Copies of this chain bind each other. A is one copy, B any other.
Amino acid sequence: MEKINVGIIGVGRIGRLHAKSITYNIPDAVIKSVSDIKLDGVNEWAESLGIKNVYDDYHKIIEDKEIDAVLVCSSTDTHAQISIEAIEAGKHVFCEKPIDYDLDRISKVLTAVKKSGVKFQVGFNRRFDHNFNRINQITKDGVIGEPHIIKITSRDPEPPPIEYVKVSGGLFFDMTIHDFDMARFQAGSEASEVFAVGASLVDKKIGEAGDVDTAVVTIKFQNGAIAVIDNSRKAVYGYDQRVEVFGSKGSIEAKNDTETNTILRTEQAVSKDKPLYFFLERYMKSFINEMKEFFEAIKNDTETPVKGIDGLNAVIIAMAAKKSLEEGRPIKISEIV
């Protein structure tokens, strides 16, 4: 079988990460071309990975008949437009999350996918994390029975720059969006109602920018399960990423990953490693795994593991959470869509 020719649009941090994953871990795929609006240092980097073409115009990738699959890793505001162009050109598309913040534009992407029949996958990488994936497998296998309560702890080690907070769409759109997808993933059901409580406890400037930095979001699912997410922009001890699913026959819980499994005992304390601090380190395996599954879906003509509807529904929950916070009441999903 021939290799799948890949083009990557946008080679910032995440685009380069995927490029490396594909080069070193996906023998079935080869990166033919990359593009970016800024090309500083891109040529050297591309050469080091054996990538032939570097463009400053992504249309060259979309117009290339030999390209089979496109990774959309550009800025969020361009995701929908580029995805649609690539889909219409018959390319399989992996689109970084979120597809967009506008429900209409997301819908257009989904419509394009449906019409064309290409593979489309959204970059909710945490579904492919070894810990969270194990939880999902155990749950699906019925080991813990029907899910009743889903608990997600998701705390960043440090708040982003205040300038980022002002344009990101806020905590629910730039950070909790992953947790909303995780809740759906583990619940195996769709949300029906969302209630969000939040405050600006970490940094007053975040509050002044109209956002919260600490939040607890409760989600009711159609199958009866209740999810609760707690977020903080700042956990001084590191990147705290835990999930627990409690069901009728038991529970399955994922602890944080650490660099080592050592225990130090001194006169002062018995101590273990802090959680891995950086998201790239913490979720590296998941980034590789989502690429693997994307290309397997193409190769075997099977469904992608995270589809457009998943991209859409996480945004809908984020919208409900934001509205709930603003209005101080639970919001039914039916009020959003």
Contacts and interface: CB of A to CB of B under 8 A. Distances in A.
Contacts of A143: 264, 266
A255 interface: yes
Contacts of A267: 236-237, 249-250
B274 A250 contact: no
A260 B216 CA distance: 26
A256 B244 CA distance: 15
Interface in A228-283: 228, 230, 232, 234-238, 240, 246, 248-257, 259-267, 269-275
A261 B131 contact: yes
Contacts of A246: 155, 230, 232, 235
Interface residues of A, number: 69
Contacts of A160: none
Given A149-B232, A195-B330, A216-B226, A262 B253 contact: yes
A151 interface: yes
Interface centre among A135, A218, A220 (most CB of B within 10 A): A218
Contacts of A250: 236-237, 264-267
Interface string A197-219: 11101100000000000111010
A144 B266 contact: yes
3 closest Cβ pairs, A-B complex: A250-B266, A237-B265, A255-B261
Given A27-B48, A193-B197, A216-B228, 19 more contacts: A131-B261, A134-B259, A138-B262, A148-B232, A149-B216, A151-B230, A195-B330, A202-B248, A216-B218, A228-B230, A236-B248, A236-B250, A236-B266, A240-B265, A256-B261, A269-B272, A270-B274, A270-B275, A328-B330
